[in-house]
Amino acid sequence: MKEMYPPELHFESSYLPRVRRRPMKQPAKVRIMLPMSIRCNTCGNHISRGTTFNSRKEEVVGETYLGNQRFRFYFQCTECSAELAIKTQPQAPDCVVESGATRVQDSALPSFLVVEDEKRREADDEMGDVMKPLQNS
């Protein structure tokens, strides 16, 4: 709101209202919903999928996938207030637990992730056993 100062008052900086701005590199505060079930490493608390948190969001420097930026979210455990961190994966609609917790295996994993995991295991098995490709042909 603009205020008019009378001309008889001389100009002093103390008359001007102060403007406080957020620093440019400070992480944004966002509200997220947890995309998977996790267990806190500090207290062992189980935090289920769909729990909402107030979190800090920051860009992961130097990590992009096809031009899409990766993000890291920091939030706190609901029991012990330990800091937990997850990182997005643009190549798959999923997140990776970075620190403070471990992922609890969901029974409802997307089918394409399960198929890709099985294909990767088969490829690793074939690379490790030299005789297996010869036996199959």
Which residues of the chain carry a pLDDT beneath 70?
A: 1-2, 4-17, 21-25, 106-121, 123-133, 136-137
pLDDT of residue 96: 86
pLDDT of residue 73: 92
Determine contact, residues 45/80, Cβ cutoff 8 Å.
Answer: yes
pLDDT of residue 10: 58
pLDDT of residue 13: 62
Distances (CA, A) of 28 to 20, 77, 97: 16, 19, 20
Cβ neighbours of residue 50 under 8 Å, at least 6 residues apart?
33, 34
